C-alpha cells in the first residue's frame, strides 16, 4: 500500500501527520531493544569494566529482557577516547566512562570527574544528587546531545608509580609521565613531560621506557595491571583524584524514545551501580594493598613543597576554566563552594577520626 493511500485510509489529516512526525517515537512495552555500550577501558577491568557489565545485567533483568545492552571494551568498536564521539554521532547508543576523558570538548567536564584537592567520592555524589551538580552536568552534556548518569567512584586514588623518588620539584622536571585530568596539567606546569594514553597502554609504555611514571587507579587495579613490575616507588595519595566519578551516558534521542519505565530503569540501575562500584573499589583496595606491598613496593608521599606547588598550578588551571564562559563559571562556583565547606568538615571529622583510628590500631 502506498503511503498516501495508507494515511487516507487511516483517516489521518495533515495536523495529525505533522504531530506524529514531531513527536518522538516511544518504544512500546512489548518491543525488545538491543543496545551497545562502549568503554575506554578493557573489558573485564576490575571495578570499571566489571561494573559496567553488572549495570547491563541489571537493566536486562529489570526490563524483563526488553532492553539488552552489549558491553564493549576500549578499541573493540571505537578507540578508547572516542566513546563520547561514538554516542554523540549515533554509532552506539551509550557509553561507560569518566567525564575528564572528554575534556578536549569542554575543560569544565573535569569537575564531573574530579579536580586536584577536590571533592571526595561521597561529596561528589552529594553534589550531584542534592546540590546543583546533576543539573549543571546535564546542561554541559546537552551540547553533545547526550544524557549523563552518575555511575560510581573509585574513591581516593594513588598518586602513581615512579621509577625514581620525588624529593623536590627538580625531580619532576623532564619526567615523562602518564597523568590524567587537571593533575596532568599541574604536573606539566611543574615541568613534567605529560602524556595521556588509554589504560591498556600504561604497562607496555612503562616497560619500553616511553614513560618514566604513571598513575592509574589504586591498589586493586594497579596490582591487576602488574604495575609493580615496572616501577618501585608508589606515591599515595593522589592529590589530583580524591574521588573521581564514573558515568554512564546515553544518546538523548535514544533515551527520549524509550518508554517512561525503561528510562526509569536506566536511571535507577545507574544509581544502584554507583553504590556498588564504590563499595567494590573500597573492599578490594583494602584487600589488595598488603599484597601489593609484599611485592617489594616502596610507598612514598609527595613532599609538602611539591604538593603546595602542584596546588598553585591546579588552582590556576581551575581559575582559567571558570573564566572561559558563563556555564563553566557556574559549574566551578557550585563545585568549589562544596569543596571549601568539605575542607573544614573533613579535617575536623573524617581526617581526625581516621588518624585516631590509625593510632589505635598501630599504624
Do 31 and 262 contact (CB within 8 A), yes or no? no
Q: Which three cell numbers stand for residue 286?
A: 583494602
Residues 6+ apart with CB under 8 A from 236: 158, 159, 299, 300, 301
* Contact yes or no for 153/281 (Cβ under 8 A): yes
Grid cell digits, residue 282:
573500597
Task: Identify the CA nearest to 172 among candidates 298, 299, 302, 316.
Answer: 302
- Count the residues in the chain: 363
User: Has 361 been labeled as part of a binding site?
Assistant: no
- Give the distance from CA 279 to its chain's centroid: 16
Nearest of 74, 33, 75 to residue 56 by alpha carbon = 33
Q: Is residue 178 a known part of a binding site?
A: yes
Angle at 181 between CA 228 and CA 348, to 5 degrees: 85
Q: What is the enclosing helix (H) or strand (E) of 245?
A: strand 245-251
Strand 176-178 with 213-214, pairing: parallel
Ligand-binding site membership of 215 (annotated): yes
Distance CA 247, CA 149 (A): 6
| 348 CB neighbour count, 10 Å cutoff | 10
| Alpha-carbon gap, residue 189 to 173, rounded angstroms | 10
CA 303, chain centre distance (Å)? 28
CA distances from residue 197 to 28, 178, 296 in whole angstroms, order as listed: 42, 7, 26
Binding residues: 157, 178, 215-216, 241
Annotated binding-site residues for substrate read: 157, 178, 215, 241
For the annotated binding site for Na(+), the residues are 216
Amino acid at each position: 500500500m502506498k503511503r498516501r493511500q495508507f494515511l487516507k485510509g487511516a483517516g489521518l489529516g495533515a495536523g495529525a501527520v505533522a504531530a506524529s512526525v514531531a513527536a518522538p517515537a516511544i518504544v512500546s512495552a512489548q518491543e525488545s531493544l538491543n543496545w551497545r555500550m562502549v568503554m575506554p577501558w578493557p573489558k573485564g577491568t576490575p571495578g570499571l569494566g566489571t561494573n559496567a557489565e553488572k549495570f547491563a545485567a541489571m537493566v536486562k533483568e529489570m526490563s524483563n529482557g526488553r532492553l539488552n545492552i552489549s558491553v564493549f571494551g576500549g578499541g573493540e568498536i571505537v578507540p578508547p577516547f572516542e566513546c563520547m564521539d561514538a554516542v554523540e554521532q549515533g554509532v552506539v547508543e551509550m557509553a561507560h566512562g569518566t567525564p575528564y576523558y572528554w575534556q578536549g570538548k569542554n575543560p569544565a567536564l573535569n569537575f564531573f570527574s574530579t579536580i586536584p584537592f577536590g571533592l571526595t567520592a561521597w561529596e561528589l555524589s552529594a553534589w550531584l544528587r542534592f546540590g546543583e551538580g546533576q543539573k549543571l552536568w546535564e546542561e554541559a552534556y546537552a551540547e553533545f546531545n547526550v544524557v549523563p548518569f552518575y555511575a560510581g567512584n573509585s574513591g581516593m586514588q594513588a598518586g602513581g608509580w615512579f621509577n625514581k623518588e620525588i624529593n623536590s620539584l627538580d625531580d619532576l622536571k623532564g619526567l615523562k609521565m602518564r597523568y590524567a585530568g587537571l593533575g596532568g596539567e599541574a604536573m606539566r606546569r611543574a615541568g613534567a613531560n605529560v602524556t595521556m594514553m588509554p589504560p591498556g597502554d600504561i604497562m607496555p609504555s612503562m616497560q619500553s621506557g616511553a614513560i618514566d611514571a604513571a598513575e592509574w587507579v589504586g591498589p586493586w587495579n594497579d596490582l591487576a595491571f602488574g604495575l609493580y613490575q615496572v616501577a618501585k616507588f608508589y606515591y599515595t595519595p593522589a592529590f589530583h583524584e580524591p574521588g573521581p566519578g564514573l558515568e554512564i551516558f546515553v544518546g538523548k534521542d535514544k533515551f527520549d524514545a524509550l518508554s517512561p519505565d525503561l528510562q526509569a530503569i536506566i536511571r535507577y540501575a545507574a544509581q544502584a551501580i554507583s553504590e556498588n562500584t564504590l563499595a567494590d573499589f573500597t573492599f578490594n583496595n583494602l584487600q589488595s594493598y598488603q599484597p601489593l606491598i609484599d611485592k617489594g613496593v616502596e610507598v612514598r608521599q609527595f613532599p609538602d613543597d611539591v604538593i603546595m606547588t602542584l596546588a598553585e598550578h591546579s588552582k590556576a588551571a581551575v581559575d582559567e576554566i571558570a573564566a572561559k564562559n558563563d556555564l563553566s563559571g557556574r559549574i566551578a562556583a557550585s563545585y568549589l563552594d562544596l569543596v571549601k565547606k568539605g575542607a573544614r568538615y573533613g579535617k575536623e571529622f573524617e581526617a581526625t577520626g581516621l588518624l585516631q583510628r590509625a593510632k589505635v590500631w598501630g599504624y
